[in-house]
Amino acid sequence: MNYKVIEVDVTTIKVNAGQPRLAYDEDGIDALASDIRHRGLLHPVILANDGEELTLVCGQRRLIATKKLGWTTIRAMVLLNATELLETALAENFLRKDLEAFDQAEAFYDLLNEKQLCLKDIARLVGKSVSSVCEIAKLMRIPKELRHDETLRRKPLRFQIKLSRYGTEEDIHAAYRRYEETGQLPVMKAQSTVSTLRELSKKIADIRTQLGKIDFLDLDFDNAVHINLKEEVTELLAAIHGRGWFRIDLIRFRQY
């Protein structure tokens, strides 16, 4: 077993500087603290032991809430191997159960962007289908302030996923405000993602055909047009890679 569950002095826990959640809604923390006071801490926080100190991996909201309650210790699950913390933690069944949907989304986002994994890699790592990982990762479309909203965090996953599909952050904010006012999400505008992707695919094919007609040996490689083209292509590849649709070896495609 590569972890142990113990009571830890809250003053000895170091908050990971890489934690994606840095600010919290005070009302949300108060609501969580009230819930913990009445029902107890249902899930321990997750800590990593690097031999010298205990670093928080998961459960920052719970740690803040218990401090507000005046608790001096907190139940914690301590990882005994701090190497590749996020991958190790997600690979363990106990942490997959401990994470709320928005926490999972932030973890997946970190794996996609910081660890450069693709959706298929993450799905295999956490024991979920690619479609499930993709749906949860899309929760990052929801604005940060809403992801910290305690009421929204307690909503069913299917509600959170539906909210994430409303488009821009402004659209999502508007949809959630409508829900708060009426108890129902507004009718979603018709989406044609497949049609958009088909049209995009045709445009890319056309561009590839046009590029094939250009004799690049005749180009001045210091020409502003050529430099701009390189930058645009590089940014396109980076954007596709960042979306996690499929893996692209950006090193092979670096500008020269």
Q: Are 73 and 8 in contact (CB under 8 A)?
A: yes
User: Residue 237 and residue 233: Cα distance in Å, rounded?
Assistant: 6
Instruction: Tell me which of 188 and 172 has the higher pLDDT.
Output: 172
Report residue 134 as tokens: 């993709």
The residue among 12, 242, 256, 21 whose CA lies nearest residue 146 is 21
Q: Which residues contact 37 (CB under 8 A, 6 or more apart)?
A: 69
Domain spanning 1-96, CATH class: alpha beta
For domain 100-191, give the fold. Arc Repressor Mutant, subunit A (1.10.10)
Domain ranges of the chain: 1-96, 100-191, 193-243
What is the rounded average pLDDT of the residues 206-226?
Answer: 71
Report residue 98 as tokens: 């401990």
For the CA atoms of the chain, what is the radius of gyration?
23
Q: Any idea which residue has 């708060």 for tokens? A: 180
Lowest mean pLDDT among 3-7, 20-24, 32-36: 20-24
User: Residue 31 and residue 154: Cα distance in Å, rounded?
Assistant: 11
DSSP H helical ranges for the chain: 26-39, 60-68, 85-91, 93-98, 101-113, 119-126, 130-137, 144-147, 150-153, 157-164, 169-182, 193-212, 224-243
What pLDDT shows up at residue 69? 94
Instruction: Tell me which of 95 and 224 has the higher pLDDT.
Output: 224
Is the pLDDT confidence value at 5 over 70?
yes
Lowest mean pLDDT among 14-23, 25-34, 202-211: 14-23
Q: What is the pLDDT of residues 79-123, one digit of tens each?
A: 775 445 556 555 554 344 556 788 888 878 877 776 667 788 778
Query: Mean pLDDT for the chain?
Result: 77
Q: What is the pLDDT of residues 44-86, one digit of tens each?
A: 888 877 677 888 877 788 899 999 999 999 999 887 754 455 5
DSSP symbol at 140: G
Same fold flag, 1-96 and 100-191: no
Residues facing residue 128 across a β-bridge: none
What pLDDT shows up at residue 84? 53
Q: Is 132 exposed, middle or buried (0-12, 13-18, 19+ CB in 10 A)?
A: middle
pTM for this predicted structure: 0.49
